[in-house]
Amino acid sequence: MSQKARITKIRKILKNTYPDVKTQLNYRNPFELLVATILSAQCTDKQVNAVTETLFKQLKTPNDFAGAPLEIIEELIRPTGYFRNKARSIKNCAKVITEKYKGQVPARLEELVNLPGVGRKTANVVLGAAFGIPGIVVDTHVARISKRLGLTANNDPVKIEFDLMEVIPQKEWSDFSLWLIYFGRAICKARKPACPACPFYDLCDYPDKDKIFSEH
């Protein structure tokens, strides 16, 4: 099987397995999604949603966040971990959005990645979910599974992103990332992947899969 045919089969299986995918973060507008995505670093979506339920009742707009004392933001987001750095990033990000973009989150990658605390991963989440602009989101699941499936040989998230952009149709970029995230949470886990139940067993380059299979 050619690499192109192999990737087509992978995409088809993922799409059929997860026909309706969307970010698990709760949000009502692009700014709330931006804040939630910053908070999601080293934190579960479930925990972020629990925090933002209260956070967005007290601080509703970029102007609210920009004007709030740093200590208040820190206390509100403390359960997400790394709360001091996250609070500083969110407050500074809100200032730039308020002053430079009149309170509106920009819808261009080049502008998003220049906001404090916003990298390509966060920018692509916001572009895809809030603006419908496809982007490859490389989180730990996407990075891990892309390597196991032989779609990339790189470890750097940006290099992985560009590798995937070359082989996945642009219209599927956002969905493909979510497919891998869903798949990583359910089957292709970091420490104990469920290789015997994996639909990609014959397509996967993961060297330990035979050992895992034999243990079942």
Task: Give the pLDDT confidence score for residue 216 in this predicted structure.
Answer: 56
What's the pLDDT band for 214 if we cut at 50, 70, 90?
A: low
Question: H/E/C letters for each residue in the chain?
Answer: CCHHHHHHHHHHHHHHHCCCCCCCCCCCCHHHHHHHHHHCCCCCHHHHHHHHHHHHHHCCCHHHHHHCCHHHHHHHHHHHCCHHHHHHHHHHHHHHHHHHCCCCCCCCHHHHCCCCCCCHHHHHHHHHHHHCCCCCCCCHHHHHHHHHCCCCCCCCHHHHHHHHHHHCCHHHHHHHHHHHHHHHHHCCCCCCCCHHHCCCCCCCCCCCHHHHHHHC
CATH code of the domain covering residue 142? 1.10.1670.10
> Are 84 and 146 found together in one domain?
no
The one catalytic residue among 121, 163, 175, 209? 121
Which pTM was predicted? Answer: 0.93
pLDDT tens-digit profile of 101-159?
999 999 999 999 999 999 999 999 999 999 999 999 999 999 999 999 999 999 999 99
> Are 95 and 177 found together in one domain?
no
Is the residue at 166 inside a domain? yes
The one catalytic residue among 15, 45, 64, 139? 139
Q: How many domains does the chain have?
A: 2
* 56: containing domain: 30-131
Is 45 marked active-site? Answer: no
> Are 164 and 201 found together in one domain?
yes
